[in-house]
Amino acid sequence: MSRFKIIFISFLVVILLGGSFFITKNQTEFAPSSGTLIRDNELPVPPRISFNVSAQRKSYIKDIFKGCNLGGDKQQLVEACDFSSTEVRDFAIRVAGNSPGTFNLGQICDIFDQCFTNWKYVNDPKGENYISKASQTLLNAYSGDCDDFAVLLCSSILSVGGEARISYAYKGRKGHAFTEVNLGNTPQEIITNYLSARYKLKLVNGKRDKSGNWWLNLDWFGGYPGGAYFKYSNGQRFYILQNYCETI
């Protein structure tokens, strides 16, 4: 082989190797700080939830005559939300571990998705409003009615350091129970951005209380955290940690 051919072939090899390196190098991008592969379908980092447990001003003279106290619904729900039980705590931290760290929106979504995806609706006994403890609902493999679902969600959130409340809502003869989680003063834009990316939604539903806390709807009718509310005209709202209720 002539010297010219050897030089020419060597030149081609260098070009091909160089081109191959260039193509391989530009197929992926890496975050400069962590080396984590960036993909278009990755979710934003779940925002940390900044909140204080809501303060409820109790007036014992007035509260004792509230329907939610007289009917015993409050005490039923407080007892059903056994968030410190081994069964509920183990379930909650196992699911929330998919979004590790301090209490964050990813943990809320993980818990909701786990319950919603696996839920099997079963009626209460005829003529009775039976409320299953959260631990019992787990033993029954995510089976029950709307208040059982609300209790399990509320208990699981309480078990990983959040605050949640349960509402009994009515419209005519129709009644429904749903949970809301306290997002405190976490910037609403950050919350909306994460939920929009995770669920491809356009509207996030929640309520602002008198102290400025924003409560995110976790109703199963909505299908995802921040989904639409059940349309109601009246009802009661129960704060499990505070052993308190109010009319809505």
Q: Which residues of 132-141 are buried (b: 16+ CB within 10 A; e: fewer)?
A: bbbbbbbeee
| Cβ contact 167:231 at 8 Å | no
For 60-247, CATH number? 3.10.620
pLDDT band for position 6 (cuts 50, 70, 90): very low
Q: What is the pLDDT of residues 126-152, one digit of tens each?
A: 777 789 999 999 999 999 999 999 999
| Cβ contact 148:137 at 8 Å | yes
57/206: higher pLDDT: 206
Residues 6+ apart with CB under 8 A from 89: 83, 159
Q: Report the share of the chain in percent with pLDDT over 90.
A: 63
Burial of 84 (0-12, 13-18, 19+ CB in 10 A): exposed
Q: Is 197 helix (H, G, I), strand (E, B) or coil?
A: helix
pLDDT band for position 58 (cuts 50, 70, 90): low
Pairing relation of β-strands 206-208 and 174-182? unpaired
Please give the pLDDT value at position 126: 78
Residues 6+ apart with CB under 8 A from 79: 133
